[in-house]
Structure formats: C-alpha cells, structure tokens
Amino acid sequence: MATYSVSVRLRRTVVEERYVSVPITEALLQSDPDEDGARRLDPDKLVAAAIRLGQDDADWLPEGREVTMHPIQKAP
C-alpha cells in the first residue's frame, strides 16, 4: 500500500532579551541645542549605540519561542 506525505514549511522564531549599558558621550547628544541652550540626548543615536553594543552573542536570555506556518510555501 502506497503512503503519501505533504511537505509543510515552518518558521521558528526565538525571542531573546539583553540589557546593555550605553555610556553617555558627546556623540549621543543632539547637534543643535534647545532654546535654553541645553543639549539633550538624541534618541535615534542612543538606540543605534545600544544596537551596536548588543551585536555580540554574550548575555542574551531566552524570552520565548514560537513555531508558525511559514508564509511562503514551496516544495523543498
């Protein structure tokens, strides 16, 4: 008796988290001071610096895992 199968492409997403300490430097400040002369942190520069610090694989902690159907279904 013949048997048949169907290939289904799955995707597993692993979510990890990590805290990084971003040193406050002149490079993270806004280039133009506010009206009161204060120079504040530039949020975009802060996020970019944090992402650079998190590029290595050290100290990441698993937060969750999910297996779902891959949106593109093609035969292997």
Residue at 33 is within a domain: yes
Whole-model pTM? 0.68
Which pLDDT belongs to residue 33? 87
Can you tell me the distance from the alpha carbon of 54 to that of 18, in angstroms, rounded to the nearest whole number?
A: 8
The pLDDT value recorded for residue 70 is 87
> What range defines the domain where residue 55 resides?
10-69
Whether residue 1 is contained in a domain is answered as no
The reported pLDDT for the residue numbered 76 is: 60
Would you state the pLDDT for residue 8?
87
In angstroms, the CA 10 to CA 8 distance is 6
Query: Given this model, what pLDDT does residue 71 score?
Result: 85
Domain count, the chain: 1
CA distances from 27 to 8, 42, 44, 50 (A): 49, 9, 11, 13
Q: Which residues in the chain come in under a pLDDT of 70? A: 75-76
Give dist(CA 6, CA 35) in Å, integer: 65
User: Which pLDDT does position 13 carry in this prediction?
Assistant: 93
